[in-house]
């Protein structure tokens, strides 16, 4: 049996790390919990799909508002464990996120995906998401891990 949970406790957050690290390998295990907790303070939510006691998919997202999109849900992170791909977990998570966004009154769902992730892009298109824009960035750190805010 699989269940989708929104996780908030430290042990539950930590249990998501092995799957999340497949998408975000630059995050060290000891940095994961503090980073997630800091993001949660800014409205980030973390959900996972469990198959029994095993986390098989993870999604991190937030609800926001802006002039371009109105009230929207932005998916920061979405990953299915490599050993459990093509088992329907990604589709189940996307469907759950869409329902959650609609229940919260969001007008749109948005996410960015690295240009190298061509198989992931095929999945998103199959799930009804459309390629709508390009995302540009400028790194300010020499190691390229992002902006130090």
- Residue 99 inside a domain? The answer is yes
Question: How far is 25 from 102, CA to CA, in rounded Å?
Answer: 31
Write down the pLDDT at residue 149.
Answer: 40
Tens of pLDDT, residue by residue over 116-139, are 888 888 988 999 999 998 888 888
- Residue 44 inside a domain? The answer is yes
What is the total count of domains within the chain?
A: 1
- Residue 81 inside a domain? The answer is yes
Containing structural domain, residue 41: 2-126
- Residue 87 inside a domain? The answer is yes
Tell if the pTM clears 0.85, that is, is over it. Answer: yes
- CB crowding 42-51: b at 16 or more within 10 Å, else e: eebbbbbbbe
With cut-offs at 50, 70 and 90, classify the pLDDT of residue 145: low
8 Å CB contact between 1 and 49: no
- Residue 132 inside a domain? The answer is no
- Residue 30 inside a domain? The answer is yes
Write down the pLDDT at residue 143.
Answer: 61
CATH of the domain at 114: 3.40.630.30
- Residue 149 inside a domain? The answer is no
Average pLDDT estimate for 61-87: 95
Length of the chain: 149
- Residue 61 inside a domain? The answer is yes
């Amino acid at each position: 049996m699989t269940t989708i949970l929104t996780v908030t406790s430290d042990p539950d957050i930590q249990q998501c790390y092995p799957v999340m690290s497949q998408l975000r390998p630059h995050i060290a295990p000891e940095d994961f919990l503090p980073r997630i907790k800091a993001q949660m303070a800014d409205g980030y939510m973390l959900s996972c799909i469990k198959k029994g006691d095993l986390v098989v998919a993870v999604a991190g997202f937030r609800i926001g508002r802006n002039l371009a999109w109105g009230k929207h849900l932005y998916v920061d992170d979405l990953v299915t464990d490599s050993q459990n791909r093509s088992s329907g977990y990604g589709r189940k998570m996307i469907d759950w996120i869409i329902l959650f966004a609609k229940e919260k009154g969001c007008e749109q769902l948005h996410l960015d995906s690295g240009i190298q992730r061509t198989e992931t892009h095929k999945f998103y298109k199959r799930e009804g998401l459309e390629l709508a824009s390009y995302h540009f960035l400028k790194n300010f750190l020499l190691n390229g891990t992002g902006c130090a805010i």
